[in-house]
């Protein structure tokens, strides 16, 4: 590209100014720089009934988080002499028009491994090819380039964390100096015929505003991400001793983990910056935990799932997914609805689902509890249907990580110890015997004595009356008996595993893929 030509910075994830190699490159030697974000209808479904109809498109809390992130990005761009140009429509078509109308010589965007973006980027690259427009698309969302790891592993992704670590070694990119923090940007040129808008409101996108107590307490944006990062790592001892399974999933006033996931998801926080901040602390700590349980180990889980997802066709479904066990899950709408709408009658499960709906974020072990309960633990409902619900409600909903963890929790891939089930009664009790978490998210049970808070159906009727909560009237009876349901789930999984093994032995991998 000739120096002095125009550049277009296409923001998708990577909604930040710090450590943003694509933005840094876009700014270099350009006459005009157009920072663009396209609001993509593909990800949205504002219809309020969409949730109960099973839509996995972004729910209101995530859209709100995204818009806050865009508003923050716009403000930061304005401070360095630019602004965010928001467009709405099909990103591929809009981008191609922008390139033409604005005489763009350099198109910069962060590389994205999600199938949707892979297809979109192919379309844009196809258009650009032969036009002389330079494309710069660096890997900067993850610590590693998933393609490098897959290449090192002979063309397929490693399927265990330990083999991933062995292949990955020291992250080469993550250890390199951060991109220069942007202090000024080239001006924006004429935007011509484009309907460029300010960052819209949720209402302008067709979403109904939520009541205050249904809104996530987490605010989107790079400024908030950096503040949260500073606060999270201020206690160096906490960082050094971080040990994932030991955290308390019922801690909601001060969550036991960083809650940086939504900021990493949208790229408001650079994973490389996060990685280096942790490394700096560990270097000065006499003793510290290690992967997989350490904080650094958590970031590496993220890369592990990104690599597995990138290298596995049909990663987000059972059919045609070579690493996914074929299991005859139920498609029981009633059980799914009870789980989704916090009406299973198990307070620990229902409270978590309320937190998920209202906050868009729940602790990792809370995710374990409800995902296990829906699938292999109690209800035997297909993991893809639970994944859909998470996809809509989580503010950190991430294609690779969400699917990877649902595959894991349902014992469909990665983890196969289906006899180890989370009890919907005793697991939560271990952390929160008084049931404060349940009382907070399910106020209908707030006066239930602590002996019954995890199993209110066992409370004598006089106790239920006193607590102003009659089971079966004010709060549901359990949808299943945990003891018999979990036994049946184990039996069905045992049968399914045996059949998978038999099929694997009898037919070639190719034929098996046909069957799947």
Chain residues binding ligand FAD by CB under 6 A are 257-261, 264-265, 298-299, 301-302, 305, 363-364, 367-368, 371, 390, 394, 396-398, 401-402, 405-406, 409
C-beta of 200 vs 292, nearer to ligand FAD: 292
Least distance (Å) between residue 119 CB and ligand FAD = 21
Answer for the pair 306, 400: CB distance below 8 angstroms, yes or no: yes
How big is the chain by its Cα radius of gyration, in Å?
24
- Please state the closest distance from residue 382 (CB atom) to ligand FAD, in A: 14
The single-letter DSSP state of residue 247 is S
We find the least distance from the C-beta atom of residue 116 to ligand FAD, in angstroms, to be 15
Is 174 strand, coil or helix?
coil
Sequence-ordered alpha helix ranges (H) in 235-270: 236-241, 261-265
Q: Phi and psi of 423, rounded to 5°?
A: -75, 130
Least distance between ligand FAD and beta carbon 257 (Å):
3
**Intra-chain end-to-end CA distance of the chain, in Å:** 47
Q: Which is nearer to ligand FAD, 23 or 299 (CB)?
A: 299
Q: How far is the CB of 403 from ligand FAD (least distance, A)?
A: 8
Instruction: Measure the CA–CA gap between 430 and 369, rounded to whole angstroms.
Output: 13
Q: In what order do the strands lie in the sheet with 33-39?
A: 85-88, 33-39, 6-11, 104-108, 134-136
**Closest separation between CB of residue 463 and ligand FAD, Å?**
34
- Number of residues that make up the chain: 516
Nearer to ligand FAD, 38 or 394 (CB): 394
Rounded CA gap, 405 and 494, in Å? 21
User: Which is nearer to ligand FAD, 87 or 309 (by Cβ)?
Assistant: 309
- Least distance to ligand FAD from the beta carbon of 366, Å? 8
CA distance 101 to 31: 15
Q: Closer to ligand FAD at the Cβ: 20 or 397?
A: 397
In this structure, are residues 457 and 478 in contact, taking their beta carbons and an 8 Å threshold?
A: yes
Question: Angle between the 271-283 and 222-234 helix axes, to the nearest 10 degrees?
Answer: 20
CB 457 to ligand FAD: min, Å: 27
How far is it, in rounded angstroms, from Cα 463 to Cα 447? Answer: 10
Q: How far apart are CA 373 and CA 346, in angstroms?
A: 10
In the complex with ligand FAD, the residue whose CB is nearer, 392 or 482, is 392
Give the nearest distance from C-beta 392 to ligand FAD in angstroms: 11
Pick between residue 46 and residue 292 the one whose CB is nearest to ligand FAD.
Answer: 292
Residue 440 CA, chain-centre distance (Å), reads 25
34 or 361, CB closer to ligand FAD? 361
Residue pair 259/361 in contact (Cβ under 8 Å)? The answer is yes
218 vs 475, which CB is nearer to ligand FAD?
A: 218
Measured between alpha carbons, how far is residue 288 from residues 22, 80, 257 in Å?
34, 40, 16
As measured in angstroms, the least distance from the Cβ of 108 to ligand FAD is 24
**C-alpha pair distances (Å), 243 with each of 292, 294, 425, 433:** 9, 5, 24, 22
Q: Residue 424: helix, strand or coil by DSSP? A: coil
Cβ nearer to ligand FAD, comparing 264 with 442:
264
């Amino acid at each position: 590209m000739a120096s002095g030509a125009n550049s277009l910075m296409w923001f998708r994830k990577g909604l930040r100014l710090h450590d943003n190699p694509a933005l840094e490159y876009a700014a270099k030697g350009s006459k005009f720089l157009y920072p663009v974000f396209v609001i993509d209808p593909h990800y949205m479904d504002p219809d309020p009934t969409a949730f109960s109809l099973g839509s996995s498109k972004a729910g209101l809390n995530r859209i709100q988080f995204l818009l806050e992130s865009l508003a923050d990005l716009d403000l930061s761009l304005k401070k360095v002499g630019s602004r965010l140009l928001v467009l709405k429509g099909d990103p591929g078509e809009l981008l191609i028009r922008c390139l033409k109308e604005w005489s763009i010589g350099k198109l910069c965007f962060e590389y994205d491994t999600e199938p949707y973006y892979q297809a979109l980027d192919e379309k844009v690259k196809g258009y650009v090819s032969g036009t002389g427009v330079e494309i710069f698309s660096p890997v900067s969302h993850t610590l590693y380039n998933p393609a490098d790891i897959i290449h090192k592993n002979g063309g397929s992704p490693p399927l265990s964390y330990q083999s991933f670590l062995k292949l990955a070694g020291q992250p080469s990119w993550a250890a390199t100096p951060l991109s220069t923090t942007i202090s000024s940007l080239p001006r924006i040129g004429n935007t011509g015929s484009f309907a460029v808008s300010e960052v819209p409101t949720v209402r302008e996108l067709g979403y109904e505003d939520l009541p205050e107590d249904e809104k996530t307490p987490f605010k989107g944006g790079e400024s908030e991400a950096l503040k949260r990062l500073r606060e999270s790592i201020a206690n160096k001892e906490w960082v050094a001793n971080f040990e994932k399974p030991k955290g308390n999933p019922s801690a909601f006033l001060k969550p036991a983990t960083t809650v940086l996931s939504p900021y990493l998801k949208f790229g408001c926080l650079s994973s490389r910056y996060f990685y280096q901040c942790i490394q700096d602390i560990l270097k000065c700590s006499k003793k510290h935990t290690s992967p997989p349980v350490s904080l650094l180990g958590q970031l590496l889980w993220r890369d592990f799932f990104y690599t597995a997802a990138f290298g596995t066709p049909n990663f987000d479904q059972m059919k045609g997914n070579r690493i996914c066990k074929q299991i005859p899950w139920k498609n029981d709408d009633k059980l799914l609805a009870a789980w989704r709408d916090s009406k299973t009658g198990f307070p620990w499960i229902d409270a978590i689902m309320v937190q998920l709906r209202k906050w868009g974020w729940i602790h990792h072990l809370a995710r374990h509890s409800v995902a296990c309960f829906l699938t292999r633990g109690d209800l035997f409902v297909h993991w893809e249907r639970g994944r859909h619900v998470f996809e809509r409600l989580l503010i950190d909903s991430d294609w690779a990580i969400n699917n990877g963890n649902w595959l894991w929790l349902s014992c469909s891939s990665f983890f196969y110890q289906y006899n180890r089930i989370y009890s919907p009664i005793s697991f939560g009790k271990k952390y929160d015997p008084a049931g404060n978490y349940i009382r907070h998210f399910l106020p209908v049970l707030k006066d239930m004595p602590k002996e019954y808070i995890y199993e209110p159906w066992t409370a004598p009727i006089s106790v239920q009356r006193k607590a102003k909560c009659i089971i079966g009237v004010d709060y549901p009876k359990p949808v299943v008996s945990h003891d018999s349901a979990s036994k049946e789930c184990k039996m069905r999984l045992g049968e399914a595993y045996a059949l998978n093994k038999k099929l694997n032995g009898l037919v070639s991998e190719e034929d098996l893929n046909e069957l799947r």
